Amino acid sequence: MPALRFAGGSPEAREDTLAVEEPLELRLHGPDGPLTLAVLMRTPGHDRELLTGWLVSEGLLPAQRTLDPDPENANVWHLHTPEHARLALGARLGVSSSACGVCGSGSVERLAVRAGAPEWTGGALGPALVASLPGRLRGAQPGFGATGGLHAAGLFTPQGDLLAAFEDVGRHNATDKVVGWATLRGDLPLSGQVLAVSSRAGFEIVQKAVTAGVAVVVAVGAASSLAVDTAVTFGVTLCAFTREGRFTAYAAPERLAHAGK
């Protein structure tokens, strides 16, 4: 993309690489014809993982389904399921919002109806390991390196090994891609893994962690008040401001080993 860079002197003409953002429409098919279930603004790539993760996060993932791309439009996918009536009702109730990240789950109470407290099976986590996760995730962010405009989410073992990482213009999308990847592998609930995000920890990140059974979330940026309230309610260990070898734990710190152990 041609651009002019101003840096105190004469402007410099240059070619910049930009993060791609395009709409992704999910169409639900039923006896009355197709219904738009969701339109997600996302970075193309790993769309199956994204849509699967979004369905998990919204409590809409049907047990029987076919999820296929449109043969002519790369920004359209089609969902066929015997549970189309349930999903269509969810769409009418407003869960099919577009790029908000919260995607219709507007309260902790609604989340509690369809998800319980995640179980943790990973043992005590050393503070040094927790603090190292953003740096380990950064090594799996080629898109950010090229554009500076992509968020990332990564799934780690309790020993700090990276299992999967995805990038997207939306931090919630990157998280959905991780959840969708794990769902397609049959790995849910993720009771022994740590979710790390290269952004702030908003409600939607903790919400998606809870629905996937993730008990530990590590964020580079700040945590919002609702994210902390949700983490406390569901017993999720929430660490934020994770940078330069330190972090702040806002909920369930009992999973963190004392310094020196």
**Which distant-in-sequence residues (6+ apart) come within 8 Å of 89 by Cβ?**
none
| Sign of the Cα pseudo-torsion (55, 58, 62, 63, in order) | positive
Q: 107-111, 154-158, 166-170: which has the minimum mean pLDDT?
A: 107-111
Answer for the pair 45, 38: CB distance below 8 angstroms, yes or no.
no
Statement to judge: residues 153 and 97 lie in one domain = no
- Residue that finishes a domain, picked among 71, 105, 139: 105
Is pLDDT at 66 greater than 80 in this prediction?
yes
Q: Please compute the mean of the pLDDT values over residues 133-160 and round it to a whole number.
A: 92
Is pLDDT at 94 greater than 60 in this prediction?
no
Q: 98-112, 113-127, 153-167, 181-195: which has the minimum mean pLDDT?
A: 98-112
Environment class of residue 65 by beta-carbon count within 10 Å: exposed (0-12), middle (13-18) or buried (19+)?
A: middle
pLDDT at 92: 57
Bigger pLDDT: 58 or 107? 58
Q: Is 247 annotated as a binding residue?
A: no
pLDDT at 99: 42
Determine, yes or no, domain membership for 68: yes
Bigger pLDDT: 16 or 81? 81
Is pLDDT at 100 greater than 90 in this prediction?
no
DSSP 202: -
The proportion of the chain whose per-residue pLDDT surpasses 70, expressed as a percent, equals 91
Q: Is 100 a catalytic residue?
A: yes
- Residue that finishes a domain, picked among 105, 138, 160: 105
Determine, yes or no, domain membership for 2: no
Among candidate residues 141, 162, 159, the one with its CA nearest the CA of residue 150: 141
Q: What is the residue range of 180's domain?
A: 127-255
d(CA 80, CA 76): 13
193: domain CATH number is 3.40.140.10
Q: Is 248 annotated as a binding residue?
A: no
212 pLDDT tier (thresholds 50, 70, 90): very high
The proportion of the chain whose per-residue pLDDT surpasses 90, expressed as a percent, equals 72
pLDDT at 95: 45
Q: Is 245 annotated as a binding residue?
A: yes
pLDDT at 235: 96
260 pLDDT tier (thresholds 50, 70, 90): very low
Paired tokens of 3: 């651009």
Q: Please compute the mean of the pLDDT values over residues 96-107 and round it to a whole number.
A: 45
Determine, yes or no, domain membership for 115: no
User: Which of 74, 100, 124, 146 is the catalytic position?
Assistant: 100
Would you tell me how many other CB atoms lie within 10 Å of the CB of residue 86?
12
Q: Is 233 annotated as a binding residue?
A: no
Statement to judge: residues 75 and 133 lie in one domain = no
User: CA neighbours within 13 Å on the CB side: how many for 123?
Assistant: 7
> Could you report the per-residue pLDDT of 226-240, keeping only the tens digit for each?
999 999 999 999 999
Q: 12-36 b/e with 16+ CB inside 10 Å = b? A: eeeeeeebeeeebbbbbebeeeebe
Bigger pLDDT: 212 or 259? 212
> Could you report the per-residue pLDDT of 1-47, keeping only the tens digit for each?
788 888 877 788 887 888 899 999 999 999 888 999 999 999 999 99
Number of domains into which the chain is organized: 2
Helix (H/G/I), strand (E/B), else coil: 42:
strand
Environment class of residue 222 by beta-carbon count within 10 Å: exposed (0-12), middle (13-18) or buried (19+)?
A: middle
Determine, yes or no, domain membership for 205: yes
User: Which ranges of the chain would DSSP assign to H, the alpha helix?
Assistant: 47-57, 84-92, 108-114, 127-138, 142-147, 171-184, 203-212, 225-234
Q: Is 244 annotated as a binding residue?
A: yes
Which residue matches tokens 């043992």? 123
Q: Please compute the mean of the pLDDT values over residues 246-253 and round it to a whole number.
A: 96
Determine, yes or no, domain membership for 114: no
Written as one string, the DSSP assignment of 81-139 is -TTHHHHHHHHHTT---SS-SSTT---HHHHHHH--PPP--S-PBPHHHHHHHHHHHHT
